[in-house]
Amino acid sequence: MTGSGRGIGKETAVLLAKKGINVVVCARNSREVNETVSEIRQFHSGVIGIACDVGVAAQVNGLVKKTAEHFGGVDILVNNAAVLYLKQLVNTTEGEWDETIASNLKSAFLCSKAVLPDMKRKNSGTIINVSSVAGKTGYANLSAYCASKFGMMGMTESLAWEIAGNNIRVMSICPGEVDTDMQDVDPAYRKENAGEMLKPEQVAEKIVEMAFDRKYRNGQSVDI
């Protein structure tokens, strides 16, 4: 579960743990990782935390290796890590663009690539990519974010075709605005509109439902 130190990722990790699933909490911020792990350990022992930049191949490979050592492998991968800059394209720096693509899109590529050989060997597995309505519609001042989420949608559909014969499902979920700390790029907007936004718990519930309910098909995109 990438990006699971807070927000959607944290709520999904907690909900999976409540269902008795072994969980790996992963984020760049080690403090957030430790806090989430501590919360889960109050009711479930099958959890470890690993601080990791999932935009870096060597760290992703280490993450998957440690996961296999503890739990035997990865059955469910949720690619959730993301950053957002609220800027016009002309004001977006190359560093901000690269960070957005690495965190939001390259991470999903690296993590999926790392877990797929074992999933293929076992002939089972589920990958859920957390995209966004911004992966289907472009929005002003979100060019980098939209580009990363549009890319995630294309990768999801392509990969779904590639693994169609391996009993693996690759799907995407496209939430609308969610009341998480990511919205603090515009605190005034968040304060005014939080009541109309999805709660991270709602998105987590749908992700977990998709992971276990076979009515959600390989290649499917789910709006929420």
85, 139, 145, 216: the catalytic one is 145
Alpha-carbon span 21 to 18, nearest angstrom: 7
The neighbouring-strand residues paired with 23 are 47
Spatial contact of 159 and 208, defined as CB atoms under 8 Å apart:
no
HEC profile for 16-42? Answer: HHHCCCCEEEEECCHHHHHHHHHHHHC
Spatial contact of 200 and 179, defined as CB atoms under 8 Å apart:
yes
Spatial contact of 174 and 154, defined as CB atoms under 8 Å apart:
no
Whether 189 is a known active-site residue: answer: no
Spatial contact of 222 and 210, defined as CB atoms under 8 Å apart:
yes
Indicate which residues carry an active-site annotation: 145
